[in-house]
Each structure stands twice: as structure tokens, then as C-alpha cells.
Amino acid sequence: MGARFEELAWRETPIGAVSLRRRRDPALGVEVYEVKLDDEYLMSSLFPVAEIELARLGLAALAGGDLDVVVGGLGLGFTARTALDDDRVRSLVVVEAVEDVIDWHRRELLPFAAGLATDPRTRFARADFFAAVAEGTGFDPDDAARRFHAVLLDVDHSPRNVLHPSHAAFYTPEGLRRLTAHLHPDGVFALWSDDPPDAEFEEVLGAVFRSARAHVVRFPNPLTGGESANTVYVAQR
């Protein structure tokens, strides 16, 4: 018998049709949750390692407690859920442009992200992350000037492969300098990328932040039986 599919949610957005689906993978014997943008796969619950490491590596660079954290891009919730697993995090603002994605979590459609929406530290901000940086409106709807200890971003495929042309300006020195206005001194910016480390982008990070490093995150690929890799950039003011 072939895999069984169920479309849990679908919505047309300014960047395309975003959908959440669940399927049973008969070969692996597991339930798989996938997010698609039109016909393009954005993320899968089969490959959560790098999204988890985005939060772990980003927060590991910070000393002290009482951390205020921003997650840009909610998706399947792995990054946000992992951030909340760090007891030092006192508040989490999740900036997500698509209301339906937030609704997936409020309806608890994703069992591995259970508790994310109900955690008292969590606040969802329905906003365009990139516009919030470019326009200086910030990530807290009630306080445009609020600063955070960490910003963890997972929206585009990579700094070169963006989901919408309007995102490209963020990955320039000017765009990243605007971001630093929303970070505390010693604050961290961490970014997920589907591409190998990009030397030119590392130079851009190095021109804005006092330190920057590209971490290669390797993980087993159950579909190929081999190994895959993503990149997590961690930069600190």
C-alpha cells in the first residue's frame, strides 16, 4: 500500500500557497509532517536536526540567564520549541508572517511541538521579519525599541536563495546593521541555511559582528540512507 496523505492546512499568501500535510511513510513506518510553498518543500519533520541546532548553537554562545529571544519563522516549531527547553530563556517572541502557520501551533497539529503555544514565555507576532528590520518597527508589537539577547532566523533557503526578492537586502552589511539595533551588546544572531558555508556571507557577517562562525550540521538522511548537511551561522556583537 502506498503512503497515505492528508492536507492539514492550506493558504494562499503573498509569497505563494503555503500548506501543511501529514503522510505515513510506509518504508520508515513513521508519520511525516511537511511544509510546502506551492510545489516546493520548505521543511520536513524527517530532518529537524539543523533547526534544533540553530537554537542550541545560538543560545550556547550567550552567558548568563534571563534571556529574551526572537525566532524568525515558525514553521514546524523545532527551533522555537528547542529555545524554550533552555531554562535561561525568560521570553520568546516568534515572528511569523503567515497567520495560518501560527494557527497550526495553537491548534496543536504538530505533536513534536506540543506546549509551544501554551508556554507562558511564548508570544506570537504576526509580522514580516524582514520588513520589521528594514522599517525599524522591531519584533515586539508593543515596544519597537525593545532589544533581545538572541535572534534565531529560519525563513529563506540560504542568504543567496531567498523565498522573496524583498528578503535579499537583509543579508547585506546595511541590513544586518539594522538588525543589531534590536540586539543587546554581546547579543547573538544565528541563521539556518540549506547551502554549504558561504565565504562571502561570512565576510559580510564579519564586517558587522565582532565574531562569526559557520557550523556544518550533519545528520543521517533516512530517504537516501546517506548523510546530509545544513549550515548554522552564529554571529555575536
In this prediction the pTM is 0.92
- Quick: pLDDT tens for 142-179: 999 999 999 999 999 999 999 999 999 999 999 999 99
- Quick: pLDDT tens for 111-149: 888 899 999 999 999 999 999 999 999 999 999 999 999
- Which ranges of 61-217 does DSSP label H, i.e. alpha helix? 78-84, 99-106, 129-134, 173-180, 199-208
What is the pLDDT at residue 191? 98
Residue 144 half-sphere exposure, CB side, CA atoms within 13 Å? 8
What is the pLDDT at residue 2? 42
Q: Which 3 state secondary structure label does DSSP give 177?
A: helix
Please tell me the distance from the alpha carbon of residue 185 to that of residue 187, in angstroms, as a whole number: 5
Average pLDDT (203-221) is 96
- Quick: pLDDT tens for 171-210: 999 999 999 999 999 999 999 999 999 999 999 999 999 9
- List of long-range contacts for 142-148, beta carbons under 8 Å, 24+ apart: 146/68, 146/182, 147/68, 147/182, 147/183, 147/184, 147/187, 148/68, 148/69, 148/70, 148/93, 148/182, 148/183, 148/184, 148/187
- Quick: pLDDT tens for 34-60: 888 888 888 889 889 999 999 999 999
14 has pLDDT over 80: no
